[in-house]
Amino acid sequence: TEGEPGALRTPIVAVLGHVDHGKTSLLDKIRGSAVHEGEAGAITQHIGSTAVPLDTISDIAGELVDPDDFDLPGLLYIDTPGHHSFSTLRSRGGALADIAILVVDVNDGFQPQTHEAMDILARTGTPFIVAANKIDTVPGWNPEPNRPSKVAIESQSDRVESDLNERLYEIIGQLSSKDISADMYWRVQDFQSNVGVVPVSAETGEGVPDLLTVLMGLSQRYMKDEMAIDVGGPAAGTVLEVKDTQGFGTTIDGVIYDGTIQANDTIVVGAKPNSIVTEVRALLQPKPLAEIRSDEEFEQVSEVAAAEGVKIAAPDLDDAMAGAPIRVVRDRDTSDVVDLVQQEL
C-alpha cells in the first residue's frame, strides 16, 4: 500500500470521562466481545491504543454493520485516565482524536472531569457521542449480554425502564445546560448537530454493538475526507508519554496519524527551548499476546503506518514532552521540519 494515493486511515477515537466511569472497562469489553465472536487476535493492543478492524466491528455489531457499506479500515481507540491530575494526557488524547466517546456513569452523571473533557472536545472541535455506562446497575436490571441496548431496554420491566430513562434524561439535561443538543441515539437524525447518547454496560455488554455502529457510521459519514492520507509519506504523530524502557533508555510512546515511520528515519520531536533532532534506534510494538510477562515485552518492527501506536527508542529524548509533535524528516530539509514542529508547540 506504500504511496497509494487516497488511502484511508483508521479514525482515532479518544475515550474520555471522569475517573471510574468505566472507560477502560468499556475497551476491555470490546476486546472481550471480539474474543467471544471468535476474533481473538483480531484486536491488537498498540502502545497507548487499541485497534479494532472493520470486520471485527461488523462481527460484534451483527446485522447493524455491513462491512460492504464502509471503506474505513476500522477504529483506533485511545484510552485516557480520568484522575484529575492527568489533565495533560486527556487534553492530548482529545486533541489527537478524530472523534470521541464521552463515558458517563448513569449513577453519577456529570462530574468535574466530565466537564473538563467536554471543554477539551469543544476547544478542539472534536465530534463525540456519549456512552451512558453501567446501565446494568439499575436495580432489577435483567442482563441481556452483548445485545443492542435499545433491544435490551425494551425487554426490562416498566419500572427498570423508567428508572433508567430518568437517569438518561438527567444526562441529556446536563448536556443541554452546556448548550449541547443531545438525545437517545436512535432518535438522532443528524449527528452533526445532535449528540447521540448510547446506553451501555461495560460489565454485561449491552449497547456495545450499537456504540460501535454509531461510531463507525459517524466516522464514515462525516470524516471520510479527513481520513485520506499519503500512506507512504513521512510520518506525523503525537507524543502521548515519555518513559524509560528497559534496555532502551528514555523512549516516547506516540500515535502516528499520518504517513509512515521507518526504523532508520531521522525524526524531529517537539521540546523546549529547542526541538530534538534524532535518529530512530528502534520502533517497538507489544508482542502479540504480551499478557504473559516476559523480559521481552516488545518486538522491533521496521515500519509503522498511520494510524497506529508505537514506542520510539532514540538518543536524546529526555526533554521530549507529552503532547508534542513527532515528524519524520525523510526527503525534506531538517531545518524546515524543525520549523514545522516549533510552530506546532
In the chain, the largest separation of any two C-alpha atoms, in whole Å, equals 67
Reading the block at residue 131, the C-alpha cell is 456512552
**One character per residue 23-42, x = contact with ligand GTP (rule: CB under 6 A):** xxx-----------------
Chain residue at closest Cβ approach to Mg ion: 24
* Residue 137 near ligand GTP by CB under 6 A: yes
3-state secondary structure of 134: coil
Please state the closest distance from residue 98 (CB atom) to ligand GTP, in A: 21
Q: Which does 20 bind (CB under 5 to 8 A by kind): Mg ion, ligand GTP, none?
A: ligand GTP
- Give the chain's length: 345
Nearest CB to ligand GTP, comparing residues 23 and 46: 23
Nearest CB to Mg ion, comparing residues 107 and 264: 107
Nearest CB to Mg ion, comparing residues 9 and 21: 21
Cα 13 from chain centroid (whole Å): 3
Interface region with Mg ion, contact rule CB under 5 A, candidates 2-10, 20-28, 67-75, 249-257: 20-28
As a whole number of angstroms, the distance between CA 213 and CA 263 comes to 36
* Residue 24 near Mg ion by CB under 5 A: yes
Nearest to 170 by CA among 193, 212, 199, 194: 199
* Residue 87 near ligand GTP by CB under 6 A: no
As a whole number of angstroms, the distance between CA 78 and CA 101 comes to 10
* Residue 133 near ligand GTP by CB under 6 A: yes
Interface region with ligand GTP, contact rule CB under 6 A, candidates 63-71, 80-88, 158-166, 325-333: 80-88
Please state the closest distance from residue 117 (CB atom) to ligand GTP, in A: 11
CB 235 within 8 A of CB 327: yes
Cα 260 from chain centroid (whole Å): 19
Interface region with Mg ion, contact rule CB under 5 A, candidates 18-26, 128-136, 160-168, 245-253: 18-26
Please state the closest distance from residue 162 (CB atom) to Mg ion, in A: 31
Please state the closest distance from residue 250 (CB atom) to Mg ion, in A: 25
Strand partners, 182: 195
Nearest to 49 by CA among 11, 87, 86: 11
* Residue among 9, 21, 31, 327 that touches ligand GTP (CB under 6 A): 21
* Residue among 11, 22, 148, 325 that touches ligand GTP (CB under 6 A): 22
Reading the block at residue 17, the C-alpha cell is 470521562
Nearest to 233 by CA among 332, 159, 155: 332
Burial of residue 158, with CB atoms counted within 10 A of its CB: 0-12 exposed, 13-18 middle, 19 or more buried: exposed
Window 171 to 210, contacts with ligand GTP (CB under 6 A): 201-203
Q: Which does 229 bind (CB under 5 to 8 A by kind): ligand GTP, Mg ion, none?
A: none
Nearest CB to Mg ion, comparing residues 24 and 250: 24
Strand partners, 196: 183
Nearest to 317 by CA among 273, 278, 281: 278
* Residue 81 near ligand GTP by CB under 6 A: yes
As a whole number of angstroms, the distance between CA 124 and CA 333 comes to 30
Size of the site for Mg ion (CB under 5 A): 2
* Residue among 59, 98, 116, 136 that touches ligand GTP (CB under 6 A): 136
Size of the site for ligand GTP (CB under 6 A): 18
- Using alpha carbons only, what angle is made at residue 278 by residues 239 and 2, rounded to the nearest 5 degrees? 70
Nearest CB to ligand GTP, comparing residues 20 and 170: 20
B/e letters for 23-44, b = 16+ CB within 10 Å, e = fewer, are bbbbbebbbbbbeebebeebbb
Q: Which residues bind Mg ion (CB under 5 A)?
A: 23-24
Q: Which residues bind ligand GTP (CB under 6 A)?
A: 17, 19-25, 81-83, 133-134, 136-137, 201-203
